[in-house]
Amino acid sequence: MIQVHLSQVAHVPLYKQIVEQVKQLIATDQLQPGEHLPTVRQLARSLGISPGTVVRAYLELEQEQIVVSRRGGGTVVSASTDDPRLSMLRQRRLSNMVSSNILEALSLGYSPEELEAAFSLHLARWREERKGRPETLESRGSDIDTRNTIVIVGSHDLALNLLVSQLKHRNPEINIEVTHAGSLGGLIALQEERADLAGIHLLDEETGEYNYPYVKHILPGREMAIVHLAYRIQGLMFDRSNPKQIKGLEDLRRPEVTILNRQKGSGTRVLLDLKLRQHGIMPSEVKGYERELDTHFAVATGIARGEADVGLGIEAAAHTCDLGFLPLLRERYDLIIPIANYRSRLLSPLLETIGSEDFIKVVASAGGYDTSQTGATTFCRYDN
């Protein structure tokens, strides 16, 4: 039985209330094309109203071609959610929902930047939940100043998500393709000229320095701009109640603890392998080590669903998925950009967005980020 609630004191006639609520159920996918509505007698009995009222509602829905009545076959939904007759209703409902939530949050003292950060992070989380397969990149093209698509390859980061979101809002004519191929994958894409810029966070074990040693090794002889996006906190993510009592990396070798790992070449995987070596833990001792995922949200949502007990990730992902978090270290996330691309017309709006006060405030509001040096740029060239 569909859920219809009537108000006897409303100024809207009862049959009109039924009409609008049936439309809402179709618009929100709770009633699908081809699905039967209750019979007139069933709905009238459940609502305690005259069958004539239900008949009038069904007739109006049929006149609008939203339902169709078949002799001996009942009343069936005919309109789909992309029907233009329902699109305005869907948009109005969405606008009212968003407006109501924004008003409530502002009345509780949250800033617009906090709202934007929370909305963007949760939207990114649910995109991860709904994602069926990786997107295929379009052809990049050769001349950066004749394109309107920016190709980014590298490590997954929520501040990067926020950057892409703000850039699209400011410059809707620019297309952005992001591939989560890991930090090393991003540098290799630059080496092979398959990307305009790479996002990386790679800790060099020998020097203890982030990113620069890898740029020197993989991109020798090329002049590069290294644009600092943000410092962020990496740590262990686990269920908020912490049922396995995880207190540090040593717990990863316990046979009853299962992890979700990141893919080879990601900065987080490089960091985990380094930390395991420092603690004398062999990968073969870590249950779940071989299961690899591409993003922080994939790991965090997997833990939230109970697929594993723990994973290494960033604080913002843990908070967005309502997980417990044990901080381990602060790391830097940089954008590596060939100098010709850095000076191009196409990337100019992106660089302006990074340096904007709005972007810095939103990233700082996301939690787990330090934006004190966001936008700082170093130019370097490492000869062979």
Residues near 83 by beta carbon (within 8 Å), at least 6 away in sequence: 66
Taking the model in full, what pTM does it have?
Answer: 0.68
Cα–Cα distance, 382 to 384 (Å, whole number): 7
296 domain residue, yes or no: yes
CA nearest neighbour of 57 among 43, 78, 71: 43
Tokens of 338: 């060939």
Q: Which domain holds residue 367?
A: 144-381
| Within a domain: 120 | no
Which segments of 249-359 are extended strands (E)? 259-262, 292-293, 310-314, 324-338
Interior angle at CA 267, CA 348 and CA 193, nearest 5: 45
The pLDDT, as a whole number, for residue 130 is 57
Q: How far apart are CA 254 and CA 246, in angstroms?
A: 10
260 shares a domain with 159: yes
Q: What is the pLDDT of residue 86?
A: 64
Q: Residue 372 and residue 374: Cα distance in Å, rounded?
A: 6
**Which residues of the chain fall short of a pLDDT of 50?**
132-139
> Residue 70's pLDDT is what?
77
3-state helix, strand, coil in the chain (%, to 5): 45, 20, 35
In a domain, residue 128? The reply is no
Shared-domain flag, residues 187 and 260: yes
Q: Is residue 124 part of a domain?
A: no
The pair of three-digit structure tokens given for residue 136, joined into one six-digit string: 């295929």
State how many domains the chain has.
Answer: 2
Q: Let me know if residue 174 belongs to a domain.
A: yes
Q: Indicate whether 168 belongs to any domain.
A: yes
Q: Is the dihedral of CA 6, 9, 14, 17 positive or negative?
A: negative
CB–CB of 253/298 below 8 Å? Answer: no
Backbone φ, ψ for residue 141 (5° rounding): 85, 165
Angle at 287 between CA 285 and CA 292, to 5 degrees: 115
Question: Which CATH number characterizes residue 374's domain?
Answer: 3.40.190.290
Question: 315 and 184 in one domain?
Answer: yes
CATH of the domain at 60: 1.10.10.10
Spatial distance between the Cα atoms of 287 and 271, rounded to a whole number of angstroms: 18
Question: Looking at the domain assignment, is residue 125 inside a domain?
Answer: no
Tell whether 64 and 169 lie within a shared domain: no
Among the candidates 94, 109, 124, a domain finishes at 109
What's the pLDDT tens digit per position in 262-295? Answer: 999 899 999 999 999 999 999 999 999 999 998 9
Stated length of the chain: 384
Say yes or no: 82 and 174 in one domain. no
> Could you tell me if 304 and 213 lie in one domain?
yes
Classified as helix, coil or strand, 297 is: helix
Would you say residue 24 lies in a domain?
yes
